[in-house]
Amino acid sequence: MLESYVAGQWQAGKGEGVTVRDAVGGERVCQVSSDGIDFGAAVRHGREVGGPALRAMTFHDRAAALKAMAKHLMAKKEAFYALSSKTGATRADGWVDIEGGIGTVFTYASLVTREMPNDVVMVEGDVERLSKQGSFIGRHILTPKAGVSVHINAFNFPCWGMLEKIAPSLAAGMPVIVKPATPGAFLTQAVVREIIDGGFFPEGAIQLICGSAGDLLDQLDEQDVVTFTGSASTGQKLRAHPNIVAKSIPFTMEADSLNCAILGESVQADDPEFDLFIKEVVREMSVKAGQKCTAIRRVIVPRAQVPAVTEALKARIGKLVVGHPDAEGVRMGSLVGRDQAEDVRAKVERLLQECELIHRDDNLPLTGTDNSGGAFYPPTLLYCDAPLQKHLVHEVEAFGPVSTVMPYDSLADAVAIARLGKGSLVGSLFTHDDREAREVILATAPWHGRMLVLNRDCAGESTGHGSPLAPLVHGGPGRAGGGEELGGLRAVKHYMQRTAVQGSPSTLMAITSEYHPGARVYSDAVHPFKKYFEDLQVGETLVTHRRTVTEADIVNFGCISGDHFYAHFDEIAARDSFFGKRVAHGYFVISAAAGMFVEPSPGPVIANYGLENLRFVEPVAPGDTIRVKLTVKNKIKKAKRGDEKPNGVVVWAIEVTNQEEQLVAVYDIMTLVERRED
């Protein structure tokens, strides 16, 4: 009996449960049951034990834990590959699932470290000035939800499907309860066991339920989150669960969809894009034996190209080596089980009510096996001659190695056919005509979560039609579920509450650990650049001496920089310009400002490595006198790497004013500042 991990213990479900069999040979792998599991205890454990411990960690602490976890899992990958083959997956299929999933964790660890503060709260967006004098302002903050995130996953990616959800959830500070699909739960459990044994996260941060979800959804409340991946019909039932509806519990759904690939009207049979199209369609039919929520189901081609496309597809499909995932040369394995194979067969029969069968080898030779498990299904190609008049091809999905070729007579028809899918995770267009690309993408984008334009220029580095990537959103409208996963920090923010906070600049500075203009500041006799990272405080300020800008400054800066723009050197043209007079270079102003606030002798400041949010507010003319205000805006402690000196990032708010105390320039600079401690 496959054990679940709930409330700090590995525990087996009661009863006989469901038998999970090797997808290739049919041998029993395990029994799966969640009978007897206390789902209420699981939710309470996550909320009361895992949640507080996770929220006590900073974003960077959680990112470091994710990175350590990913390194450990990568070291154990061969054990996962061995189990993966029992799901019918080839080594290449397993790479997407196992190393792709672990790679996603690495990506989130890096992303969070790079783009989120080393704090327990994240400030989002700019200051909103809510009063005339600036004594009343607003900011948006993001804090972790105080519940649990429940992840209900599909069978096709037991590793990636789990890891791509738990990485942003744990990074946000929200404990997870993972509920894998039963057919691949043994592989998910193996990964979770390594995570638990490694102790990367506090107890209660990760729990696992193998088997039915029971009354889990009844235990949730308004602080919890549910994410679902699977069939549209199952997702719709779960989303309509009375408790989900009554308590407005966020429910993100990523459902299987009838994704399309469109061959551009401009593409000819001897173009590189034609070959790319054929390869991509067959790849999407054969990877994971077509069991992908992003797989190409509808192959939309110009009517004149139908004979060439179908012959090329059949020829390439005919070269596929199908069989035991561990056998040499095999490029396509089995479906996840006998039931899935029967489901695909039944769906194909339904599709044949509107389509004709143009390729399926029912006597397909298998390498290294005899299909005793009954889970193999031959690559199948259908043809629908009138896709604008048919409906089953846009509603019924055979979740296996099955695609349907559909002709179009104009680009407008191609767009109309694509839209009939009623919402898809991904669509792809194969064309080298950028005009055609713009027309098709803009017309079909509202029906798709992601769109790929593939041609000779990007094919060498493209990740392909069916590969969701951590920086880009994964999800889609309508039938695809209407949700979004991944998408960089968007995924992390999904598990956090966005709150508008209003108050004085000083109060908001205390809440957010970020300086706001107008907040109380202080200074002492020690120049800020002579202080170590620990000694600097948010709001600490230096006001510099004054400097009068001269004619010589402008001339010298122009000669050094080579910038002889008329507004700086042509008295007559400058008089007739927007400025009404000659002005100093903006970059001279910030260069002069640096000279005024920098302490030149050696000290804890290691380097200046960035400038952001620069705005030139008022012009500076010869004879104007400028002054600089330097304030610690926020601080980001960095983990020590190798032999480098321990350091942190200090963001300084710079305000340059003139003799009238008007702002002439504002910007932020970032410096690496040495820390005392190792």
Q: Looking at the structure, do residues 246 and 350 belong to the same domain, yes or no?
A: no
DSSP-derived 3-state class of residue 543 = strand
Q: Give, in degrees to the nearest 5, the angle at Cα 465 between 464 and 469.
A: 75
- The enclosing domain of 613 has a CATH number of 3.10.129.10
**Same domain for 213 and 276?**
no
Question: Looking up tokens 């890891």, which residue turns up?
Answer: 163
Same domain flag for 247 and 288 = no
- Share above pLDDT 70 across residues of the chain, in percent, rounded to a whole number: 100
Q: Name the more confident of 13 and 168.
A: 168
Is the pLDDT confidence value at 333 over 80? yes
User: Does residue 650 fall inside a structural domain?
Assistant: yes
Is 246 within the bounds of a domain?
A: yes
Residues 227 and 273 in one domain: no
Whether residue 481 is contained in a domain is answered as: no
Q: How confident is the model at residue 501 (pLDDT cuts 50, 70, 90)?
A: very high
* Span 28-68, pLDDT tens digits: 888 899 988 999 999 999 999 999 999 999 999 999 999 99
Residues 95 and 240 in one domain: yes
Angle at CA of residue 58, ends 54 and 61, nearest 5°: 85
Q: How far apart are CA 663 and CA 281, in angstroms?
A: 59
Residue 318: give its domain's CATH number.
3.40.309.10
Annotated catalytic residue 485: no
pTM of the complete model: 0.86
pLDDT of residue 678: 55
Query: Residue 258: what pLDDT?
Result: 92
* Domain shared by 528 and 649, yes or no: yes
Regarding whether 269 and 248 lie in a shared domain, the answer is: no
d(CA 69, CA 49): 20
Convert the pLDDT of each residue in 437-489 to its tens digit.
999 999 999 999 999 999 998 988 888 888 888 888 888 898 888 888 888 88
| 642 has a pLDDT exceeding 80 | no
Tell me, yes or no, if 210 is annotated catalytic.
no
Are 457 and 547 in the same domain? no
Closest Cα to residue 157, out of 236, 99, 197? 99
**Would you say 287 and 96 are in contact if contact means Cβ atoms under 8 Å apart?**
yes
**Is the distance from CB of 135 to CB of 518 less than 8 angstroms?**
yes
Is residue 482 one of the residues assigned to a domain? no
| From 183-192, 203-212, 332-341, 640-649, the region with the lowest mean pLDDT | 640-649
Bridge partners, 356 (sequence order): 383
Please count the structural domains in the chain: 3
Domain assignment of residue 451, yes or no: yes
Which of helix, strand or coil describes residue 678? coil
**Residue 641 token pair:** 């790497």
Pure H helices in 319-459: 338-351, 411-419, 434-444
Catalytic residue among 30, 159, 210, 254: 254
Report which residue type is found at 46: G
478 falls within a domain: no
**Residue 418 scores a pLDDT above 70:** yes
- Comparing 118-122, 250-254, 638-642, the range with the smallest average pLDDT is 638-642
Same domain, 298 and 246: no
Q: 550 and 655 share a domain?
A: yes
- Whose CA is closest to 86, among 25, 159, 15? 25
Q: Tell me what the mean pLDDT of segment 635-650 comes to.
A: 82
Q: Which domain holds residue 113?
A: 3-252+490-497
Q: What's the mean pLDDT in 152-158?
A: 86
Is residue 461 domain-shared with residue 549, that is, in the same domain?
Answer: no
The answer to whether residues 351 and 239 belong to one domain is no
- Which of 210, 260, 293, 355 does the annotation list as catalytic? 293
- Looking up residue 25, the CATH number of its domain turns out to be 3.40.605.10
Residue 120 lies in a domain: yes
Q: Give domain status of residue 14, yes or no.
A: yes
Rounded mean pLDDT, 634-658: 85
